[in-house]
């Protein structure tokens, strides 16, 4: 008998406790980075999301789109400026942001999921006033910080068998302004409002690294704060880990920062013993690396 078939069957058998563990759960996946611009990586990501839905998970996709926004702004002759890693968003820029995120990027992901056999529906944080924001920082212009969340529309979609794909564009509290929301921030707010079981932040790095450059596979919030304080967590990883801490405070069971460039990264994280990337959660001990006891119950 073909050894590859035997290995595939063994892998499926070993995944059983994890499939049982996550059946019926809500998993919010932030999709971004270089994988978004690669057709093959996009198709693979879409297949992973469809498989999640097929085995009983309720995936909710939140996406970014920075490179595509930069490209269109450059074509329009509009300069891109960033402060502390966040895009300075003028009234002119926010129109381009909404056009790219809610239009081009959102519908491309929806189409990829539908092509993979799923039933995806693209929306933004403005639909049904799902995400209402106030200005994050006057220096950033129309960059929003979520202050009110209404996620019933998301529940309605996944209960009906759909896969929600959400663009991080939101409504302002005053005068119905449009706000650009950082993709990780939006994903964290949505995951918290849904009390999601997992928030997966797909990035272009392997996970949270220590001073020796090694990926730390398990982290407690206290570990994260200490690593930020002593500079082990720096640069673009700071807002990701801060998003993770806020999501945990809001009721998300665990947050994982993982490399979206790795084939089937989300499936490796959810359905294998060792997972992928760095998991951050409030519990400190576990008999298995990603929280399953023998028999499939999380500590």
Cite the DSSP H helix spans in the chain. 3-22, 39-54, 66-75, 91-98, 106-115, 152-159, 183-194, 221-229, 237-249, 265-271
Return d(Cα 122, Cα 198) in angstroms, integer.
21
Instruction: Read off the tokens for 77.
Output: 């002759």
In a domain, 251, yes or no: yes
The range of the structural domain enclosing residue 229 comes to: 17-280
In a domain, 71, yes or no: yes
In a domain, 76, yes or no: yes
Q: Which of 35-39, 158-162, 237-241 has the lowest mean pLDDT?
A: 35-39
In a domain, 163, yes or no: yes
Question: Is the pLDDT score of 294 beyond 50?
Answer: no
Mean pLDDT value across residues 219-229: 94
Contact 78, 93 (CB under 8 A): yes
Q: Which residues are annotated as a binding site for substrate?
A: 65-66, 87, 180
Contact 202, 34 (CB under 8 A): no
Angle separating helix axes 183-194 and 152-159, nearest 10 degrees:
70
Residues, the chain, total? Answer: 299
Question: Could you read off the pLDDT of 128-178 as tens digits, one per residue?
Answer: 999 999 998 888 889 999 999 999 999 999 999 999 999 999 999 887 899
Question: Could you read off the pLDDT of 65-76 as tens digits, one per residue?
Answer: 888 888 898 899
Give residue 295's pLDDT: 31
Question: Is the pLDDT score of 110 beyond 50?
Answer: yes
Instruction: Read off the tokens for 69.
Output: 């926004």
Q: How many domains does the chain have?
A: 1
DSSP code per residue over 184-228: HHHHHHHHHHHT-SEEEEEESSSS-B-TTS-B-SEE-HHHHHHHH
If one compares 242 and 273, the residue with the highest pLDDT of the two is: 242
Question: Is the pLDDT score of 51 beyond 90?
Answer: yes
In a domain, 292, yes or no: no
CATH of the domain at 53: 3.40.1160.10
Q: Which residues are annotated as a binding site?
A: 65-66, 87, 180
In a domain, 130, yes or no: yes
Give residue 180's pLDDT: 93
């Amino acid at each position: 008998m073909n050894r590859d078939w035997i290995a595939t069957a063994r892998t499926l058998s070993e995944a059983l406790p994890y499939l049982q563990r996550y059946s019926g759960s809500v998993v919010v996946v932030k999709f971004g980075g270089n994988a978004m611009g690669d057709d093959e990586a996009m198709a693979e990501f879409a297949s992973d999301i469809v498989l999640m839905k097929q085995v009983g998970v309720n995936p909710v996709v939140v996406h970014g789109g920075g490179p595509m926004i930069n490209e269109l702004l450059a074509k329009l002759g509009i300069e891109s400026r960033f402060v502390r890693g966040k895009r300075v968003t003028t009234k002119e820029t926010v129109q381009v942001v909404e056009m790219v995120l809610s239009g081009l990027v959102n519908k491309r992901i929806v189409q990829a999921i539908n092509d993979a056999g799923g039933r995806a529906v693209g929306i933004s944080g403005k639909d049904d006033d799902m995400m209402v924001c106030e200005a994050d920082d006057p220096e950033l212009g129309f960059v929003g910080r979520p202050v009110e969340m209404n996620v019933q529309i998301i529940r309605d979609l996944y209960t009906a068998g759909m896969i929600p794909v959400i663009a991080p564009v939101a409504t302002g509290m005053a005068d119905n302004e449009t706000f650009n929301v950082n993709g990780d921030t939006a994903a964290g707010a949505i995951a918290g409002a849904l009390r999601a079981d997992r928030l997966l932040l797909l990035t272009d790095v392997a996970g949270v690294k220590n001073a020796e450059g090694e990926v730390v596979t398990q982290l407690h919030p206290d570990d994260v704060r200490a690593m930020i304080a002593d500079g082990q967590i720096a640069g673009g990883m700071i807002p990701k880990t801060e998003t993770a801490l806020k999501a945990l405070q809001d009721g998300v069971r665990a947050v994982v920062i993982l490399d979206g460039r790795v084939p089937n990264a989300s499936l490796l994280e959810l359905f294998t013993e060792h997972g992928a990337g760095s998991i951050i959660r409030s519990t400190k001990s576990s008999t298995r690396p990603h929280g399953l006891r023998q028999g499939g119950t999380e500590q």
